Amino acid sequence: MTIAIALFTQDLRLHDNPVLHAAARTADQVVPLFVLDPDVGTAGFASANRLAFLADCLADLDDSLRRIGSRLVLRRGRAVAETARLADEVRADAVHVAAGVSAFARSRESGLRERFGDRLHVHDGSLTAIPPGAVTPAGKDHYAVFTPYFRAWQQTSRRPPHRAPRRLSTPGGLACAALPTARADSPGLPPGGETEARRRWQAWDVGRYEEVHDDLAADGTSRLSPYLHFGCLSATELIDLAERHGGPGAEAFVRQLVWRDFHHQVLAAGPRAAWQDYRTKDDRWRADSREAEAWRQGRTGYPVVDAGMRQLAHEGWMHNRARLLTASFLTKTLYQDWRTGARHFLDLLVDGDIANNQLNWQWVAGTGTDTRPNRVLNPLTQADRLDPDGAYVRTWVPELAHIPGRAIHRPWLLDRPPADYPEPLVEPGEVAARLRRGRGLD
336 forms bridges with which residues in the sheet?
A: 286
Average pLDDT in the 341-354 region?
A: 96
pLDDT value at 435 more than 80: no
How far apart CA 45 and CA 258 sit, in angstroms, is 24
Q: Report pLDDT for 439.
A: 61
The dihedral sign for the CA sequence 411, 412, 418, 422: positive
pLDDT in tens, 150-176: 999 999 999 999 999 999 999 999 999
**29-36 and 73-76 strand pairing:** parallel
Q: Report pLDDT for 433.
A: 67
Q: Report pLDDT for 434.
A: 65
Q: Which helix (H) or strand (E) holds 30?
A: strand 29-36
Average pLDDT in the 73-95 region?
A: 97
Q: Report pLDDT for 430.
A: 74
SS3 (DSSP) at 66: helix
pLDDT value at 407 more than 80: yes
How far apart CA 218 and CA 392 sit, in angstroms, is 8
Answer whether 349's CB lies under 8 Å from 318's CB. yes
Q: Report pLDDT for 39.
A: 86
Percent of the chain with pLDDT over 90: 90
Q: Report pLDDT for 43.
A: 60
User: In one letter, which amino acid is 173?
Assistant: G
pLDDT value at 42 more than 70: no
Read off the pLDDT band of 310 (50, 70, 90). very high
How far apart CA 345 and CA 349 sit, in angstroms, is 5
Answer whether 217's CB lies under 8 Å from 389's CB. yes
| Longest distance between any two alpha carbons in the chain, whole Å | 81
Average pLDDT in the 1-10 region?
A: 97
Nearest in space to 307 (alpha carbons), one of 187, 221, 401, 211: 401
| Sequence-ordered list of residues with C-beta below 8 angstroms from that of 69, at least 6 positions apart, any chain | 167, 168, 169, 170
pLDDT value at 438 more than 70: no
Answer whether 61's CB lies under 8 Å from 196's CB. no
Phi and psi (nearest 5°) for 333? -90, -50
Q: Report pLDDT for 125.
A: 85
Q: Report pLDDT for 212.
A: 95
The better pLDDT of the pair 249, 372 is held by 249
Q: Report pLDDT for 390.
A: 97
Q: Report pLDDT for 41.
A: 73
120 forms bridges with which residues in the sheet?
A: 95
How far apart CA 23 and CA 162 sit, in angstroms, is 13
How far apart CA 320 and CA 259 sit, in angstroms, is 12
Q: Report pLDDT for 113.
A: 97
pLDDT value at 441 more than 80: no
pLDDT value at 368 more than 90: yes
The model carries a pTM of 0.95
* Cα–chain center distance at 334: 25
How far apart CA 184 and CA 314 sit, in angstroms, is 10
Percent of the chain with pLDDT over 70: 96
Q: Report pLDDT for 44.
A: 63
The better pLDDT of the pair 125, 12 is held by 12
pLDDT in tens, 173-199: 999 999 999 999 999 999 999 999 999
Task: Output the average pLDDT for the chain.
Answer: 94
Read off the pLDDT band of 223 (50, 70, 90). very high
How far apart CA 180 and CA 356 sit, in angstroms, is 27
